[in-house]
Structure 1
Amino acid sequence: MYKLNIIAFIISLQDFAPVLGSHMPDPAASQAETATVRRNDGSTSALTPSDRVRVSNARTSARSESTRRNYQSQWQSWTQWAEYRGVSALPAHPDMVEAYLSERAEFGHKPPTLRLAAAAITFVHSMHEVPSPVNHNVRETLKGLAEQYGRGQKQAAALTAEGLAAIRATACISRRGRGGRMETAEFARRRGLLDIAMVSLMRDALLRVGEAAELTWADLEDEADGTGRLTVHRSKTDREARGAVLFVSAQTMAAMNAVRNGAGPEERVFGLSVVQMTTRIKAAAKAAGLGEGYSGHSARVGMARDLVRAGTELTALMNAGLWQSHDMPAHYTRAEEAGRGAVARYYGAT
């Protein structure tokens, strides 16, 4: 059984670069290292352990931070299950992966989570140059579990233009904190202005919450007409980090300028984690009387729905939201699409 080191391939190894580069390895030691490296298929490899660290770091960087965190969590669940069952986690047998996924489905895990678990298992095996156990049979099992346990995936409540207007009207009103103490007027004003800026920018650029959390002020540029341009250097679907430039309305730029407070170009725009941003969006929606079900995806979903209502075609919507596939935008806007479909036109609804 292979010795597992989840941290070695999940976290970035940049912090260790000075250590690796601080000395030249002994040629004799490197030769000995190289001679002992053997692939799992029995063939030899010229890679030293140091080489493997560098390659592992490069491969890991191909995944977004959120994907790496999800893979780490899923892999830990799999290894714990494998240890309990007394079977090998790496390399894993396809039959045991099928048993694991089936058991998780029985205990209430949804098909998207099962697919993520299978992807994590495949990823770790590839990092260790081991054939993936997620073969045709496992994929068929995943399809069967989706049929057996799958239901319509719950969608985040849409933060539409009307919802944004409600948040703008209520965000700066004092609220009671966790301890029951009422916010001061100044604290409420500063919190509210940041909430308004955050949801406004996330709507305009159809940002994923992880993308919004990573923005710096250098990514946002003012235009002469009062609008702005936002550079997203890397998104979930932009693995090669080619980047994209997105439009920001004049109203949103005014909201952003109201919260900058002299921050430098390299400072984080919102200075909040993904969890903190999601929590604040939920709280802002609740305080505005919008109800429950709001999340870090709500601004993205809401703008997608507003754009379709305004007549935006699917291809243009995919470009605006940096989607590579039509699946998710079509899912977000299915109610709007139904409202302008063939039957709706027959009854004169559009």
Structure 2
Amino acid sequence: MNPPLPKVEAPRINEALDLGLLTESDAQNLNGLFRHEITANTIRSYRSQWRNFVTWAATRGTPALAAEPEHVAAYLAERFEQLGHKPATLRVAAAAIAYVHNNCGFENPCSHPDVKRTLRGATRAAGKAQKQAKGLTAEALDAIAATACQPRLGKNGRRESAQAAARRGSVDIALVRLMRDAMLRVSECAALTWSDIETVPDGSGRLLIRRSKTDPDGEGAVVFVSAPTMEALASIRDGAPAGLRVFELSPNQISLRIKKAALAAGLGDGFSGHSPRVGMAQDLARIGVELPSLMTAGRWRSPTMPAHYTRNETADRGAVAQFYSYPRDPCQRHQTT
């Protein structure tokens, strides 16, 4: 039997329909809502992860559905030890396996202690200080803005024309500026349409982020966009209708463009689609913005990640730094009180 890819409809609802316990209208209403349970991006990720597990199970001659907990644990351990996959990737794989089992009416093998121990062990073995994207700070933005419109060599070995380089560079500059100002995740940036951007009288803008990783219910957030960024966006719009996506790029394409722009600017490797968000967080911390305000700006629910990104910038405000900046001469202390 070839195990199915993740289903949206709940099998128990369909069984109830077959038994006459629910009407066709009941089933349509319920299954219609179930389709909005998780995002389309998550479904795509789950499909990919599930295919990988099905392939692995087939080579072992073990069933993928319903899977035994020890087989899932062995699969995750192999991906970590032999393929070098990160703990975060393993957690997505486990979530995909759990999703398929739950939605097909089988017991979830990922709730077994052995699978949980495997994931915890991988996290500890890898260490929590995983590689972080380099922050695309204001200085890095200036370097990209100064070089983005210079012609580059393409995949075919030919150099861009001046006109093509200017068009591409203008998009790169607008992309990086907007992602920094709004502290956008790549998925948020990819989903933006021109109707989400509004200009206000002082030349700045307001950006509506309709849905995000930390806002799956789509309550939305409105964020500030600087006047220079609004000018950069206006330069690339070229009469695009309100319903068109701003950059017409996928999340992977956005990350690749930022990486290439950073390399062309001489900033080195290590930049990604997360870099503008990290860099703005570092810039804000550097000027004294406190963690609660930083969390609001970046739409973080937990202080863990913004504190991690800005640990170098906030070190000089720690307890020991305060000790060394405190006047040791009693006369000086009296003057400061």
Instruction: Say whether the fold is shared (TM-score over 0.5).
Output: yes
**Contact 2:178-2:229 within 8 A present in 1 as well:** yes
Question: How far is the alpha carbon of 1:151 from its aligned partner?
Answer: 5.5
- Kindly provide the amino acid, as one letter, of the partner of residue 122 in structure 1: A
Aligned to 2:36: 61
- Conserved in 1, the CA contact under 8 Å of 2:17 and 2:27? no
Asked if the contact 2:6–2:46 (Cα under 8 Å) also holds between the matched residues in 1, the reply is: no
- Measure the CA separation in 2 of the matches of 1:79 and 1:265: 42
Q: Deviations over 1:181-223 (max 9, x none)?
A: 1211111111111110000000000001111111100000000
The residue that corresponds to 2:287 in the other structure is 310
SS at match of 1:245: strand
Shift in alpha-carbon separation, 1:45–1:128, aligned structure 2, 3 A = farther
SS at match of 2:62: coil
Asked whether 1:98 is paired with 2:97, we answer no
Q: 1:116: Cα distance to partner?
A: 1.4
Deviations 1:83-125 (A, max 9, x none): 2222222222222211211222211222111111111111222
In structure 1, C-alpha distance between the alignment counterparts of 2:22 and 2:272, rounded to whole Å: 45
Distance in 2 of aligned mates of 1:123 and 1:286: 39
User: Alpha carbons of 1:36 and 1:261: their partners in 2 closer, same or farther (altered >3 Å)?
Assistant: closer
Match of 1:281 in 2: 258
Letter in 2 for 1:154: K
Q: Which amino acid aligns with 1:4?
A: P
Structure 1 pair 243/262, CA: closer, same or farther in 2 (3 Å)?
same
Q: Does 1:83 align with 2:58?
A: yes
Q: Give, in whole Å, the separation in 1 of the partners of 2:4 and 2:101.
A: 12
Which digits, 9 at most, give the CA deviation of each residue in 1:7-60, with x for residues without a partner? 6549xxxxxxxxxxxxxxxxxxxxxx85795xxxxxx78468997687556334
> What is the TM-score with the length of structure 2 in the denominator?
0.87
Please say if residues 190 and 247 of structure 2, whose CA atoms lie closer than 8 Å, have aligned partners that are also in contact. yes
Q: Secondary structure at the match of 2:53?
A: helix
Structure-1 residue corresponding to 2:187: 210
Question: Which of 116, 121, 141 pairs up with 1:139?
Answer: 116
Aligned CA distance change for structure 1 residues 111 and 56 (closer, same or farther; 3 Å) = farther
Alpha-carbon deviations, 1:283-340, whole Å to 9, x = none?
1111111111111111111111111111112121111111122222122222223232
The answer as to whether partners of 1:105 and 1:149 remain within 8 angstroms in 2 is no
CA distance in 1, matches of 2:20, 2:110: 25
SS in 1 for 2:50: helix
Q: Give 3-state SS (helix, strand or coil) of 2:180's partner.
A: helix
Per the alignment, residue 5 of structure 1 pairs with 4
Q: Does 1:294 align with 2:275?
A: no
List gaps (5 residues or longer) in structure 1: 11-32, 38-43
User: Is residue 250 of structure 2 the alignment partner of residue 251 of structure 1?
Assistant: no
Contact 1:34 1:47 in 2 (8 A): no
Query: 1:335 maps to which residue?
Result: 312
Q: Distance in 2 between matches of 1:101 and 1:135?
A: 14
* Rounded Cα–Cα distance in structure 2 between residues aligned with 1:307 and 1:289: 24
Mark the CA change 1:36 to 1:199 in structure 2 (over 3 Å): closer, same or farther. closer
Q: Is the 8 A contact 1:34 1:48 kept in 2?
A: no
Structure 1 equivalent of residue 91 of structure 2 = 115
Aligned counterpart for 2:156 among listed residues 165, 173, 179: 179
Summarize the Cα distance change of 1:149–1:193 in structure 2 as closer, same or farther, 3 Å threshold: closer
Structure 2 counterpart SS, 1:144: helix
Distance in 2, matches of 1:136 and 1:347, equals 51
Residues 64, 195 of structure 1: alpha-carbon distance in 2 compared, 3 angstrom cutoff: same
Matched residue, 2:332: none
RMSD: 2.5
Query: CA distance change for structure 1 residues 120 and 52 in 2, over 3 Å: closer, same or farther?
Result: farther
Alignment partners' CA distance in 1, 2:314 and 2:20: 54
Q: Aligned equivalents of 2:32 and 2:315: distance in 1?
A: 46
- Say if 2:6 and 2:99, in contact at 8 Å, map to a contact too: no
Decide whether the 8 Å contact of 1:111 with 1:150 is kept in 2. Answer: no
Match 2:215 to one of 226, 238, 246: 238
Secondary structure, counterpart of 1:247 in structure 2: strand
Structure 1 counterpart of 2:203, from 222, 226, 231: 226
Give the C-alpha shift of residue 274 in structure 1.
1.7
TM-score, normalising length from structure 1? Answer: 0.84
